[in-house]
């Protein structure tokens, strides 16, 4: 009898939870050709609630009751497309189709320069690898998993990164980082580059979508080849923020959950994170 009461209580709790949330399902397509748009960021403005569309453009996002009000805004963004803001009360259809307009900006070489200072132009920037390329004893682990995660979808859109110093004009050849823990068969990341202002990440500056995969539970130093993107960092920019955003994954085991990146404790002031959307916050 007691077991029946416990099960009944659990069912009632789960039902209450599902009714308190608005579940929005849909698909995102290119308005010009009707094709699916993969790995689009979808989130509630001013909150950490968000997700990322999958390979075929489909998405699911749960909206808590406190955000189910007329003026709640849903932000939809993806590199190469014009960002959209949609009021949440317009997303009432069971399977809604959202259309993104391709950006008219031409994707030329990514030359990242400071707009505040005028420096001498260098036509021959040096080749450069972002991140360290040697082994060190990890002191801190930057985790992509949190105790509040209940399903793998909870970490979609999560972002971790660090501020780097630019000492000379350079053509970015690669990005290297150290993976200290990994329980996933495949993880797909997006690499983002931001300008900085007052010691914090500010505007996204890369014009091309940089995607890569880490496979088979790989641990150790991992290098992303960036030579095809022709990214140039100018010395007068002084600093930039480089980050990894989790956009898709497949577990090695049913209970797999851990993925972490090594970092030196002395550089913690340069590390920032974002759980979904909203401002990037300093690691504590």
The tens digit of pLDDT for each residue in 228-262 reads 888 888 888 889 999 999 999 999 998 888 898 88
Nearest to 233 by CA among 119, 128, 161, 162: 128
Poorest-pLDDT segment among 24-38, 110-124, 138-152: 110-124
Torsion, Cα of 209, 215, 219, 220 (10° steps)? -50
CATH class of 2-100: mainly beta
What per-residue confidence (pLDDT) applies to 26?
92
User: Residue 194's CB: how many other CB atoms inside 10 A?
Assistant: 22
What is the DSSP secondary structure assignment for residue 3, as one 8-state letter? H
Predicted structure pTM score: 0.74
Return the structure tokens found at 78.
Answer: 């993806």
41 within 8 A of 157, measured Cβ to Cβ? yes
Work out the number of other CB atoms within 10 angstroms of the CB of residue 119.
12
CATH 2.60.40.1120 in the chain, residues?
A: 2-100
Structure tokens at 200: 């914090």
pLDDT of residue 241: 92
The pLDDT assigned to 29 comes to: 95
Q: What is the DSSP string of 62-128?
A: EEEGGG-STT-EEEEE-TTB--EEEEGGG--SSEEEEEEPBP------EEE--SS------SSPEEE
What whole-number distance in Å separates Cα of residue 132 and Cα of residue 179?
12
Rounded CA gap, 162 and 72, in Å? 31
> Tens of pLDDT along 173-204?
899 999 999 999 999 999 999 989 888 888 88
Tokens of 203: 């505007």
pLDDT exceeds cutoff 90 at 2: no
């Amino acid at each position: 009898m007691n077991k029946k009461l416990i099960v009944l209580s659990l069912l009632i709790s789960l039902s209450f939870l599902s009714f308190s949330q608005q579940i929005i399902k849909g698909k995102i397509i290119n308005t010009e050709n009707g094709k699916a748009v993969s790995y689009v960021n979808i989130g509630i403005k001013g909150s950490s609630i968000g997700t990322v569309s999958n390979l075929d453009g489909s998405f699911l996002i749960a909206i808590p009751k406190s955000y189910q009000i007329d003026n709640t805004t849903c932000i939809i963004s993806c590199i190469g497309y014009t960002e959209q803001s949609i009021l949440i009360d317009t997303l009432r259809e069971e399977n809604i189709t959202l259309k993104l307009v391709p950006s008219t900006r031409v994707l030329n070489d990514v030359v990242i320069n400071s707009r505040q200072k005028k420096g001498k132009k260098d036509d021959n920037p040096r080749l450069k690898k972002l991140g360290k390329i040697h082994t060190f004893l990890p002191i801190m682990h930057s985790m992509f998993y949190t105790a509040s995660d209940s399903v793998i979808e909870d970490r979609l859109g999560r972002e971790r990164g660090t501020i780097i110093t630019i000492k000379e004009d350079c053509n970015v050849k690669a990005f290297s980082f150290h993976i200290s823990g990994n329980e996933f068969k495949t993880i797909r990341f997006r690499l983002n580059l931001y300008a900085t202002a007052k010691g914090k990440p500010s505007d996204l500056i890369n014009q091309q979508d940089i995607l890569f995969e880490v496979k088979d539970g790989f641990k150790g130093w991992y290098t992303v080849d960036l030579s095809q993107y022709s990214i140039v960092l100018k010395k007068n920019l002084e600093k930039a923020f480089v980050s990894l955003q989790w956009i898709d994954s497949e577990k090695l085991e049913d209970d797999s959950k851990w993925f972490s990146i090594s970092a030196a404790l002395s550089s913690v002031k340069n590390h920032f994170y974002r759980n979904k959307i909203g401002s990037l916050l300093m690691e504590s």
